[in-house]
Structure 1
Amino acid sequence: MPVLTAPEKTVIPTFALQQKDGQGNTMIDVREAGGQCGEFKLDPAFLQPHRKDYYLFVLIKSGANRHWIDFVPYTVKPDTFYFTVPQQVHLKEHAGPTEGLMMSFTDEFLQLEDNRILKQLPIIQNPAAAHEIKLNPADLVFIEDTMRKMLVEFNADGTWRNQMLTSWLRVLVIYLSRLYSEQYNETCVTLNYCLLKSFQALIGEHYATQHDVAAYAEQLNLTPGHLTDVIKQQSGKTAITHIHDRLIVEAKRRLLHTGLSVKQIADELGFEDSAYFNRFFKRLTSTTPIAYRMQIREMYS
Structure 2
Amino acid sequence: MTSGMTSVPNFALYGTQAQPTWRDLVHFERIPERSGLHNWEIEPHFHDALIQVLYPISGGGETFIDGRKWTLQTPCLIVAPAHSVHGFHWTIGDVDGPVVTAAQRPLESLAATASPELLQHIRKPTVLHVDPTSRHAESLMPLFDAIEREAATHTQGQVAAGMALMVALFVQIARISETSARAEEDDVPRTRKALQVERFRALLDEHCRERVPVERYASELGVTAGQLTRLCREVMGMSTLDAINARVVHEAQRELVYSSLSIKQVAAELGFEDEAYFGRFFKKQTGLRPTEFRANARRELAGA
TM-score under structure 1 normalisation? Answer: 0.48
